[in-house]
Amino acid sequence: MFALKKDCPARVVATSAALDLIERLHREHGDLLFHQSGGCCDGSAPMCYPQGDFLIGDADVLLGEIGGAPFYIGAAQFEYWKHTQLVIDVVPGQGGMFSLDNGAGLRFLTRSRIFSDAELARLASASATADPRDCPPELARSPLARPGV
């Protein structure tokens, strides 16, 4: 885990309910990986896979970590969402066809909040530095999201 620069906002966070499901899936399946789906069959749901079962490509962006699992998004989709913090939550329902939350009675859901101008400036400043770890992945809980809402 990288040391987080104190003034750098996390690009992805998880609610307590999401972290509980991640912990459960980790116990059942081992190390996990998330990829924010870009549409098609599963809409834009966050998909959860065992690490090694989903190949990350050159066009995927690592946003951070939730529950110890890396969270990726496609570069094209990141361009649309780069002004927002993704808040991963869970709601009752059926997960994506290939996602590990399928059959759990709960499904992961992506909510978002728009970064403030100050947060965007800090993210832009960190992106311009030579060391990409100035704004590294972070395990975080969002104070803005309520589980299951």
* Mean of all residue pLDDT scores within the chain: 80
CATH code at 104? 2.60.300
Residue 62 has pLDDT above 60, yes or no: yes
**Distance between CA atoms of 74 and 30, rounded to whole angstroms?**
24
**Low-confidence winner among 19-23, 29-33, 54-58, 138-142 (lowest mean pLDDT):** 138-142
- Taking only the tens place, the pLDDT of each residue in 78-137 is 998 899 999 999 999 877 777 888 777 888 999 999 999 999 988 888 765 534 445 544
Residue 145 lies in a domain: no
User: What is the domain range of residue 21?
Assistant: 12-134
Predicted pLDDT at 105: 86
Number of domains composing the chain: 1
Of the chain, the percentage scoring pLDDT greater than 90 comes to 47
Q: Is residue 3 part of a domain?
A: no
